[in-house]
Amino acid sequence: MDITKFAIPEIIFGRGSLNYAGQCALRLGAKKVFLVSDAGIEQAGWVQRLMDILEKEGIEWVYYPGVTSNPRDFQVEQGAELYLKNGTDVIIAIGGGSSMDTAKGIAIIASNGGRIRDYEGANRVNRPLPPMVLITTTAGSGSDISQFCIITDVERALKMSIITRTLVPNISIVDPLILRTKTETLITQSAIDALAHAIEAYTSTIASEFTKMQSLKAIDLIIRNLPRAVETRSLDSLEQLSIASVAASMAFSNASLGVEHALAHSLGGHFDMRHGVIHPILLTAVMRFNLDYAEDRMADIGRVILNTTMGSPRETALAGIEKLEDFFDSLNVSRKFRQELQDKDKSLLKTICKNALNDACNLTNPRPASWQELLKICKEVW
């Protein structure tokens, strides 16, 4: 094994763990917290709840509500201005990937200056960031665990991957009680996002024993619990999805991903499509594309999905991919791009595939890919 690094935040997991937010902020030296969230989370009452928790510990806060889905460069730059102007010292975000990535972008600019696009790629953030506590309200994006931050560059119409160890927050709070207020769609999309993280991290060229066990655990938990979680909303199955998301995030944060995510970032920059919508369309097509270059690992994934093995690794791998397709079919999700996009959008695919090649996730795909090959995959699932 080559040298491998494994870094995760301190994790506080469990029903009611949100109540620890104030103590966590205090431990990190907070006097005045910069609080990041969005309108949906506010309406669900979680922002007020968090403010109450901070107030109880005697911590002041400034609230930045300017988060949208697929956060944009100018938004984090505005946020950083506010952070500095108000003399805040610790950042707390509560929300999905968008809120947490906005918080991370703000942290970068507030401490390193410049424009967010200056930090695109791997390891380009030099100065330490303000302390961060991230509280996830979904079980998918993994931004609360990972060293990833995805921000849309509006001018270039693409999602930038910013990856650096200092983006791992100090503390991640995962409270499954929060998931109960989520819609069926969001629960499904988040779980699919975590599943794609787990699978691409497992076949990544830099996967390690530490990330691989997390990937397989996450795949197992999502396949076994998502249908029940959607159907019954039982707290137990939602909790299992939260565990799966944390495990998948530990994996992809340290093993990175592959071309499916490179494409998802590029597509998301043009079409404002959520990852959870893109994966059921693209993931298994990319797995088939990668199969010859990662047969044994695909067989491991197949074994977990099928809960058994077939005659050969290749058969197990293929049967696993087919079962995964059945799994997506059984959920209320699109399986073709044409269900989500318009005919005219097809002409953008070439640019999208070319942009995907520049995404950092492309570097760790098991099979080297040209933009023409990516285009072929996208057309297959149009």
Which chain residues interact with a second copy by CB under 8 A? 1-8, 10-17, 20, 165, 208-210, 213-214, 217, 239, 243, 246-247
β strands within 14-56, DSSP E: 32-36
Judged by beta carbon, residue 2 or residue 155, the one nearer a second copy is: 2
DSSP 207: -
| Segment (H or E) for 60 | strand 60-64
CB nearer to a second copy: give 78 or 208.
208
Long-range contacts of 358-361 (CB under 8 A, 24+ apart): 359/161, 359/261, 359/262, 359/265, 359/266, 360/121, 360/122, 360/161, 360/163, 360/256, 361/161, 361/200, 361/256, 361/257, 361/258, 361/259, 361/261, 361/262, 361/265
Closest separation in Å from C-beta 40 to a second copy: 25
Q: d(Cα 243, Cα 206) in Å, to the nearest integer?
A: 23
From the CB of 94, what's the least distance to a second copy, in Å?
A: 17
DSSP 69-97: SS-BHHHHHHHHHHHHHTT--EEEEEESH
β-bridge partners, 92: 35, 133
Q: What is the largest CA-CA distance in the chain?
A: 64
Report the distance separating Cα 107 and Cα 130, nearest Å.
6
Distance of closest approach, residue 247 Cβ to a second copy, in angstroms: 8
The residue among 98 and 112 lying less far from a second copy, judged by its C-beta, is 112
Q: Which residue has the tokens 């100090």?
A: 170
- As a whole number of angstroms, the distance between CA 340 and CA 274 comes to 11
Task: Give the start-end residues of each E strand in 154-259.
Answer: 158-163, 171-174
Task: Rank residues 137 and 290 by Cβ distance to a second copy and give the closer one.
Answer: 137
In the complex, least distance from residue 12 CB atom to a second copy, rounded to whole angstroms? 5
Q: How far is the CB of 118 from a second copy (least distance, A)?
A: 21
Q: Which is nearer to a second copy, 150 or 173 (CB)?
A: 173
Contacts of 296 (CB under 8 A, 6+ apart): 313
**Shortest Å distance, C-beta 29 to a second copy:** 10
Please state the closest distance from residue 243 (CB atom) to a second copy, in A: 5
C-beta separation of 129 from 108 below 8 A: yes
| Closest distance of CB 366 from a second copy, Å | 20
